[in-house]
Amino acid sequence: MKTVYDFTVKDRKGKDVSLAEYRGKVLLIVNTATGCGFTPHYEPLEAMYRELRDRDFEILDFPCSQFADQAPGSDEEIHAFCTLKFGTEFPQFRKLDVNGETADPLFAFLASEKPFEGFGKGVKNAALKAFADANNKKFGEKAYIKWNFTKFLIDREGRVVARFEPTADMKTVREAVLAAL
């Protein structure tokens, strides 16, 4: 059975990192952007990381600019923004694609394990769905991730156990992380 430990990604400096290095930890893998309406998610993510990292919890941050070009800048510029504005300390990796022919295999795997089930109810969620559908039309069947700040919870065995769309309440995400720990 394939797990996240079977994947290698690039850190923000371009060095290969095997996700097997995180074996035995609970992971939250997130595609992020610095110019998105959900960018303030960095704050509760960092708070959760600081509180729980001593319990073998890691957040893996993967910037992506496929959604309305909301992650402009180099890997170093993105990192500087996140550390200066939000004080992030969790690992941040090289900017990548999560959809289409150039999608990173990790994100294709994550989305195949936990497919999109909707943004939820309400006017804001419906508006995001319309915008995301228009943006993601160009990726066709390979529109794995619908928007920035999609979060995947990985258990200590490397299995994908939950997917949270950016519209999910961060308290719900935190409760799931606590349950996995």
| 145: its two tokens | 């991730």
pLDDT of residue 124: 80
Query: Could you give the percent of the chain with pLDDT greater than 90?
Result: 82
Query: How would DSSP label each residue in 58-103?
Result: EEEEEE--TTTT-S-S-HHHHHHHHHHHH---S-BB-----SSTT-
Pair 67, 147: CB distance under 8 Å: yes
pLDDT at 19 over 90: yes
* % the chain with pLDDT above 70: 100
| Class of residue 59 by CB neighbours under 10 A (exposed 0-12, middle 13-18, buried 19+) | buried
Active-site positions read 36
CATH topology of domain 4-180: Glutaredoxin (3.40.30)
Query: 95 and 64 in contact (C-beta within 8 Å)?
Result: yes
Q: How many CB atoms lie within 10 A of CB 162?
A: 18
The predicted-structure confidence for 37-48, as pLDDT tens digits, reads as follows 899 999 999 999
Per-residue pLDDT reduced to its tens digit, 48-78: 999 999 999 999 999 999 998 899 899 999 9
Q: Report yes or no on whether pTM surpasses 0.85.
A: yes
